[in-house]
Every structure is written in C-alpha cells, then in structure tokens.
C-alpha cells in the first residue's frame, strides 16, 4: 500500500546497491512519506520531519507499528464481512445435514446470531480490544487458551524448519555462486527445483512411505500433545520438518544465488577480485551485505508461510497446528476462532515484513546513515 505516492523524503531512493530490486523503493520510501491517516503525523508536522530525519529507523518502526494497528483493524473487519458473505451461518453449518429448524433456532438465539451484523461485530471488537477473544461457539472453550496451544505447536514446527532451512538455503546459494555453471551449482539447482515443483503433500507422502512405512525409522503420525517430552516431540516432527525444508529451500536458495550474482557483476567486486581477494571472501564480505535485502525479504515470506500456510502438511502428518484449527473453524463459521486466527496470521505477516525491512536497512550502511 506504500508503493504508490512520490518519494519526497530525505532518504535517497536511487543509487542504492540493490536498486534493481523492486522492493527497495518501497523500503527506503517508507520512513519519509508522511501518512495523513497516521495519527502521529498530526502532533507536529515539523517535529515528525526532524525525527524522521535524525532517527529514520525509530521513525520507521513507529510508523509501521501505528499502521499495523490500523491494518489489523481492517483485517478483522474483512474477516467478519467474509464470514457474513459465506453461505449459511454457524447454526446451519454446524448442524449440517442433521439440522432441525428448532435446533437451528435455539443455537441462533443462544449466540445472538439473530442480531444485526454490525452489532455483533462491535460487541466482538469491544472484547477484543480488551484482549478477550471470547469462547469458541462450537467447542465452548476459551479461544485464547486453545490458540495458545495450537500457535505454540505451529511455532515449534516453523522454528525447527527455519533453523534448518535458512542457513542451508543461504549456504547452498553461496556455494552455487562459487561454483556457478559447474556441476555443484547444477546439482543444487536441479534437486531444489525438483523439491519445490512437487506439491508439498506429495513430498510428505513420499517421506512417509519410505521412512515410516518401508524402513520404519521415523515417527508417524506427528501428533504432539501435552504429556510428550522434548525428544519425543522432536522425533515426531522430524518428517514434517524435512518436508517443509524441501518445500521452502529452493525459493530462498535461488534468490540468494541470483542476488549475489547480480552484485558480483558490479565494479567494486571486480576491484576486489583484481586486488587478489579469494572468491569466498569476496562473496561473504563484499557481495553478501549488498545482496541481503532481497534475500531477507524472501526469507521473511517463507517464514510467514511456515507459520500460517502449512495446513496441507499439518493434515498429511496429523499435526495439530494453527492452519488446521482455522480451517475447522471456517468450515462451521465459528466467528471468534476465525477472527483470532486471522488476526494472528496478519500480525505475523506484518511483523515479519517489518523485521525484513529493518534488517535490510541495518545491513546497508547507506540506508542506515541517510544524507
């Protein structure tokens, strides 16, 4: 939403090393552009300008935080409208084919579904602002408590998939650059492309077939529950983590390779080469920091995917994560649960994108110290 509008701020928008990447304009344009919808802008225009100038990073974070509150509000409104637009309400979908008019009527009255949409949304919002997300309509359990468990499971899985896949992807990307157009580069490319081309459920099934059914070395199903020890949990998530690593690896690896190669063709790398520096040193010291912004963005997107987009993997491996929880809730139009899940997912995307932008700025001295 911030790509549009002129770049009027003091931060240089052209001439950055990664100028070829489309996201860089968005990146550097952000702290400079005063947003009329932004509440803080009204306090003192000149103060804000000076603040932006002196502490661009702090200003960026403040502005992003303010915007994300607005965004989350918009998301909640859209989710609520979306559920309303879906055919059938909670009472009819929950009872399904076995619905009787009287039971439907009783549930509607019980949950206040007979009241107008705006009234229901406002009463939900009233609770949510105070941190009370209500109780699930279907199971009557507290949404907060339920999500706590599920989110913990999702983060656990995503964390281990990330600490395996991110270093692996970046490392392989660098390796591919070092051996570019030679055999290691080609092997890395072919294997990772094959892994990303297969649908994730198929990768999952293949792993289950070989490691759980044929060789019997892996744990399946990957169901985790409270009474499990950490080692049991780790063994349970081995196969889903392997699947996720295979799925996200290629994207990050190829972006690393492309970004570094892009930088490698620039003049200062040639200079470094002429100075007689070793290839790996050039990549690690000179090329990588300048290539970090696009890579970080891809990593952030993939991390977000690992948290919110892995419902298929959850189903295949019978893993109780957030994705399955939200799908179950949408199926029966369980509004409080859908709202809470949707907001958490949105918050993750916003947070990870913000983190990616901040890291990109920190990694690039020219963005860190604007003229």
Contact residues: other proteins, CB under 8 A? 86-88, 92-103, 106-107, 110, 136-141, 146, 149-150, 205, 208-209, 212-213, 216, 220-221, 223, 225-227, 315-318, 320, 324-325, 328-329, 331-332, 334, 337
Give the integer Cα–Cα distance in Å for 311 and 341.
13
Q: What is the DSSP string of 130-196?
A: TT---B-TTT--BHHHHHHHHHHHHHHHHHHHHHHHHHHHHHHHHHHHHTTTSHHHHHHHHHHHHHH
Minimum Å distance from CB 106 to other proteins? 5
Radius of gyration of the chain (CA): 24
Of residues 17 and 147, the one with the C-beta less far from other proteins:
147
CA dihedral 32, 11, 14, 33 (to 10 degrees): 0
Would you say 2 or 99 has its CB closer to other proteins?
Answer: 99
**SS3 (DSSP) at 8:** coil
CB contact set of 139 (below 8 Å; sequence gap of 6+): 146
Q: Least CB distance from residue 154 to other proteins, whole Å?
A: 13
CA angle 162, 166, 172 (to 5 degrees): 145
Nearer to other proteins by Cβ, of 72 and 218: the residue is 218
Among residues 249, 239, 248, 138, the alpha carbon closest in space to that of 188 is found at: 249
Q: Which is nearer to other proteins, 109 or 186 (CB)?
A: 109
Nearest approach, Cβ of 350 to other proteins (angstroms)? 25
Rounded-to-integer distance, Cα 314 and Cα 230, Å: 19
Q: CB of 86: closest distance to other proteins in angstroms?
A: 7
Q: How far is the CB of 124 from other proteins (least distance, A)?
A: 17
Closer Cβ to other proteins, 120 or 149, answer by number = 149
Shorter beta-carbon distance to other proteins: residue 139 or 197: 139
Least Å from the CB of residue 321 to other proteins: 10
Closest CB 180 distance from other proteins, rounded Å: 40
218: how many CB neighbours lie within 10 A of its CB?
A: 17
Q: Quick one: 103 or 234, whose CB is closer to other proteins? A: 103
């Amino acid at each position: 939403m911030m790509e549009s509008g002129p770049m009027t701020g003091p931060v240089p928008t052209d001439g950055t090393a990664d100028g070829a990447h489309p996201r860089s304009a968005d990146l550097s344009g952000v702290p400079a552009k005063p947003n009329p919808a932004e509440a803080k802008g009204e306090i003192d225009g000149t103060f804000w300008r000076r603040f932006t100038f002196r502490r661009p990073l702090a200003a960026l974070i403040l502005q992003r935080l303010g915007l994300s509150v607005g965004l989350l509000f918009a998301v909640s409104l859209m989710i609520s409208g979306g559920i309303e637009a879906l055919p059938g309400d909670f009472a009819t979908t929950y009872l399904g084919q076995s619905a009787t008019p009287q039971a439907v009527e009783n549930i509607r009255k019980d949950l206040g579904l007979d009241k107008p949409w705006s009234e229901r949304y406002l009463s939900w919002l009233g609770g949510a602002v105070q941190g009370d997300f209500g109780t699930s309509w279907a199971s009557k359990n507290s949404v907060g408590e339920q999500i706590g468990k599920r989110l913990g499971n999702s983060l656990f899985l995503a964390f281990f998939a990330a600490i395996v896949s991110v270093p692996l992807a970046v490392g392989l990307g660098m390796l591919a650059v070092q051996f570019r157009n030679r055999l290691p580069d080609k092997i890395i490319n072919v294997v990772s492309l094959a892994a990303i081309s297969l649908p994730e459920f198929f990768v999952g099934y293949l792993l289950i077939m070989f490691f759980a059914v044929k060789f019997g070395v892996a744990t399946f199903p990957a169901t985790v529950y409270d009474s499990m020890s950490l080692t049991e949990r780790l063994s349970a998530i081995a196969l889903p983590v392997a699947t996720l690593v295979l799925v996200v690896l290629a994207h990050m690896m190829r972006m690393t390779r492309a970004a570094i190669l892009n930088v490698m063709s620039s003049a200062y790398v040639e200079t470094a080469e002429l100075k007689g520096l070793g290839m790996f040193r050039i990549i690690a010291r000179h090329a990588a920091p300048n290539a970090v912004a696009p890579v970080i963005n891809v990593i952030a997107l993939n991390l977000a995917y690992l948290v919110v987009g892995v419902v298929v993997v959850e189903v295949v491996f019978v893993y109780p994560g957030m994705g399955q929880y939200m799908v179950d809730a949408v199926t029966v139009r369980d509004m409080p649960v859908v709202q809470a899940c949707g907001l958490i997912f949105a918050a993750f995307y916003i947070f990870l994108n913000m983190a990616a932008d901040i890291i990109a700025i920190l990694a690039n001295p020219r963005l860190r110290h604007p003229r």
